[in-house]
Amino acid sequence: MLVTPKSTLFFAKNEAGGKGFNLFLMSQAGLPVPEWVVFGKRYFHEFLQSPGVKSALEISLDKLQQGSLTAAQAEQEIVALFDKTAIPTSVEKSLIEALKTLGEDKVFSVRSSAADEDSLAHSFAGQLSSFLYVNGKDDILKYIKGCWASAFSERGLVYRLENKIDLKKISVSVVLQRMIDPDKSGVLFTCDPVAKKTDTYVASAVYGVGEGLVSGALDADSFWLDANHGKLLRQEVVEKKEMMKKSSSGHCELKVVAEPLVNTASLSEQELNQLHQLGQLIHKQYHRPQDIEWAIENGKLYVLQTRPVTSLDQDLIGYPNLWDNSNIIESYGGLTSPLSFSFALRNYKAVYVQFCEVLGVPNEIIKDMDSYLGNMLGSVNGRVYYNLFNWYKLVGVLPGFKQNREFMETMMGVSEALSDEIANRIKPHPSWDTPMGRIRKIVTGFNFIKYHFTIQSVVDDFLQTFHRDYDRFRTMDLKRMRGDQLVRVYLDMERNMMGRWKAPIINDFLCMVHFGLLRKLTLTWLKELDSTIQNDLLAGEGGLESAEPTKALLRLANKASKNEGLRQLIESVDPKDGLEAISQSPYQEFYKSVLDYLDRFGFRCMSEMKLEEIDLLTDPSYLFVCLKNYLKSGQTEIHDDTHEKSLRNGAEEKVAAHLTGFKKKVYFWVLKHARKAVKNRENTRFARTRIYGIARTIFQTVGEDLASVGAIENPRDVFWLTIEEVFGIYDGTLPSPNLKAFIDIRKKDYERFQEDTDPRIMTRGAVYWNNTFIKEEDLSQISSETGDWDLKGLPCCPGILEGTVKVILNPTDNLELNGEILVTARTDPGWVPLYPAISGLLVERGSLLSHSAIVAREMGIPAIVSIPGLTKKIKTGMRVRIDAKAGTIKILSEE
């Protein structure tokens, strides 16, 4: 019945109480703990079975609960009862056995250890008794009984009553542990509790017994150590004239410290190294920062106690995850439904598995990557984020990790520096360090080079096959199918289209490398030239398939502009009624052209990567908003790219004059492939948009099917389910059929998610607990010191203009435009039809490779992206001056 280091885990946990079980865990971990045994709670309950004890105890506790006894009176009655009751002989026999192992002549501590079930959820710190410097069997037995009685102290009884803890389920175990007589002792924190940092350990030390440090009677030396390597960062040595040592009476007393030691550091370099190693071992054992009491006796380091650091902010405890939506916000801005998020998460995994396969990554390594390939994205407060750690891990399976990491950060718009803790965790995949890994590096490198030379034909073949398959699914009568049929159609599309996504993902990687390399060469070789010359070099490429819907709209607007009656009809009718009005008008040829547009591009909408958005097939009013904008602003001609071509040619001439020989050839070679990769990226992403359009129709129709059978309240409630839950409805794998209940729960959760979140957040442990997602943004620090500008971002397409601002944040805002400067938080391809009616573009989020930047360069629209604080500082109606070459905005009027 004694708990010892050799006990089983279950027995120790059940019998030893909090302190005792902690000793057991430390011993199991191989920590240097002074010898100990625990008298388990069974001894306590055996004592309660002594004649008259249990009944008398219950009477006292009943009186306490009824109010006829105070807690102090109850304590007196119970202590008296315990004093007059003999301790069971089994306890005495077990103690004799224990002392044979521990040493009968040793000095011990006898400490209470709360063992009732409620102690798991409540702290009884300071409410149970401990007795120090105890020796001899009789005294130990007396103090064991004293520990039992302390469970019924006045303070403990009040605490239990206040927390509604059952008074009749009290259990107490007792720890018997050898006391040491240390030469030095102190405390080690595996964090810096004052600075609230986890990358530093802090040790405090005194000579002699640690009681002087704990009680505050003595000053202590302090040492700050690097958490990872143990390097001494700094130290504070105090004057130590006194120390506490055990006296001949068995208690502590103050003694004088030898003169040479008074102003000398109490811990040597070797002892600090030992402490650091001990701290790492304990931190690893408990997985959170610890407050460790330690002592050194005759050169040996002992652990006396360890407990979690309670003063440390919870957001510094736990395994960290780094989330960033600087780039993905372009596709998933604002709140994103569970269906859209789970759909994207599923597709990202499928696509990047293909990416690894095509580069020759072995299957066993791909399986090893499953845990992060399946979690490339996260949903935090209803918003989609990249899980950056997992993206770094993906890049880590490719050759050239350091360079690829930089290129990835450029493409994603990741600009914030990584902390040391995070940077230390980002490393190439360990398989590179094996003989087979070096061979694989060659194979993967060869595959990359091969695709570098064949990518255009690979992309062309992909697009040809894609359009063949797309036309097959597009012409299906999806609106008339049952839900189970639609699920099978979706899975067929996923297998035949998303399952053949190797060309786009290879091109994305090539784009990342070539664009990153071009930027690096520009900053290195062309630093004397204009810093934005890279934007000019990428302008005027043409051939963007994603621009075709806007061109087709401009052609429609041009037709309407030549017929005054048709023009007046479009300008006067509410866009919501536009299609009906045209269908009932005499302009039937134009009506047929609109229907043809809807047939070709009806999948388009703003925020078109989100399945819950309303596309043109469901509501064509956005089409008529754009036509109205073009007609009012007089923009009915397809954009002439002469200006962009001129920018491009001028930039090429500057580069050619600046570089010579090898550098010139290399730079233009990289430029050529960067242009090609950027164009291919836009065209293959437009293919993805088409697939999402079919998926949107499929799931909208599934919603109608589920609503018709009463599974959900409203057809659009399907978007509150995950894609796996939708499949489970028809596959029989859904754990609960009560869809309406958890749809309602999710709706209420999303109502709490209305406040915006930061573009980069770090979480530790459980994501939604003890983590902060929103920081106050200090807009006062944004403006220039000279007052030349009020906001600044990344320049994308040059141009200086003054104009009135219109802020549009989502599709439900007023979308009417007539030459204003468009201000928004982010854009996606569905926003492009608005561009012909604007004079400039300002975007709060985004990168140089974001869609808004690429299309703005193609259309010659002065544009700036990645502008901190833009939508908080700029309001509709303000007049501003923008210098899109410098990336600056000056507020001229706030009216």
Could you tell me if residue 51 is inside a domain? yes
With bands split at pLDDT 50, 70 and 90, how would you rate the model's confidence at 694?
very high
The predicted pLDDT at position 318 comes to 66
Q: Please state the rounded mean pLDDT for residues 558-569.
A: 93
Q: Is the pLDDT of residue 881 over 90?
A: yes
> Is 565 or 105 the better-scoring residue by pLDDT?
565
**Do 736 and 848 share a domain, yes or no?**
no
Could you tell me if residue 539 is inside a domain? no
Number of domains in the chain: 5
**Do 754 and 848 share a domain, yes or no?**
no
Q: Which residues of 300-314 are buried (b: 16+ CB within 10 A; e: fewer)?
A: ebbbbbbeebeebee
Within 116-267, strands assigned E span 130-134, 172-178, 184-189, 200-207, 221-226, 232-236, 242-246, 252-256
Q: Please state the rounded mean pLDDT for residues 445-462.
A: 85
**Do 382 and 500 share a domain, yes or no?**
yes
Give the tens place of pLDDT for each residue, 755-803. Answer: 667 778 888 788 888 777 766 555 555 666 677 888 998 888 888 999 9
CATH of the domain at 875: 3.50.30.10
The predicted pLDDT at position 233 comes to 93
Q: Is the pLDDT of residue 701 over 90?
A: yes
> Token pair for residue 732?
């029989």
**Do 707 and 809 share a domain, yes or no?**
no
With bands split at pLDDT 50, 70 and 90, how would you rate the model's confidence at 621?
very high
The predicted pLDDT at position 838 comes to 92
**Do 693 and 731 share a domain, yes or no?**
yes
Q: Is the pLDDT of residue 122 over 50?
A: no
Give the tens place of pLDDT for each residue, 326-372. Answer: 778 878 888 999 999 999 999 999 988 998 888 777 888 888 888 88
Query: Is 215 strand, coil or helix?
Result: helix
Residue span of the structural domain in which 889 resides:
776-895
Share of the chain above pLDDT 90, in %: 40
The predicted pLDDT at position 608 comes to 87
Distance CA 585, CA 594 (A): 13
Q: Is the pLDDT of residue 407 over 80?
A: no
Could you tell me if residue 651 is inside a domain? no
**Do 443 and 564 share a domain, yes or no?**
no
Task: Give every CB contact of residue 596 below 8 A, 6+ residues apart in sequence.
Answer: none
Q: Among the ranges 9-13, 155-159, 214-218, 719-723, which has the highest mean pLDDT value?
A: 719-723
**Do 336 and 472 share a domain, yes or no?**
yes
- Average pLDDT for the chain: 85
Could you tell me if residue 219 is inside a domain? yes
> Is 286 or 572 the better-scoring residue by pLDDT?
572
Give the tens place of pLDDT for each residue, 204-262. Answer: 999 988 876 766 778 899 999 998 889 999 999 999 888 888 776 666 788 888 999 98
Distance CA 890, CA 895 (A): 14
Element (H or E) spanning 181, and its range?
none
Q: Please state the rounded mean pLDDT for residues 745-750.
A: 93
Q: Among the ranges 67-76, 263-272, 781-790, which has the highest mean pLDDT value?
A: 263-272
**Do 209 and 249 share a domain, yes or no?**
yes
Could you tell me if residue 704 is inside a domain? yes
Q: Please state the rounded mean pLDDT for residues 435-439.
A: 73
Give the tens place of pLDDT for each residue, 525-540. Answer: 998 887 678 878 887 7
Could you tell me if residue 537 is inside a domain? no
In the block, tokens 């007589």 appear at 181
The predicted pLDDT at position 781 comes to 55
**Do 593 and 665 share a domain, yes or no?**
no
**Do 517 and 586 share a domain, yes or no?**
no
**Do 421 and 506 share a domain, yes or no?**
yes
Q: At which of 764, 792, 813 does a domain end?
A: 764
Q: At which of 254, 288, 316 does a domain end?
A: 316
Could you tell me if residue 846 is inside a domain? yes
CATH of the domain at 299: 3.30.470.20
Share of the chain above pLDDT 70, in %: 90
CATH of the domain at 67: 3.30.1490.20
Task: Give every CB contact of residue 441 below 8 A, 6+ residues apart in sequence.
Answer: 399, 432
Could you tell me if residue 114 is inside a domain? yes
Looking from the CA of 67 toward its CB, the CA atoms found within 13 Å total: 0
**Do 159 and 189 share a domain, yes or no?**
no
Q: At which of 741, 764, 787 does a domain end?
A: 764
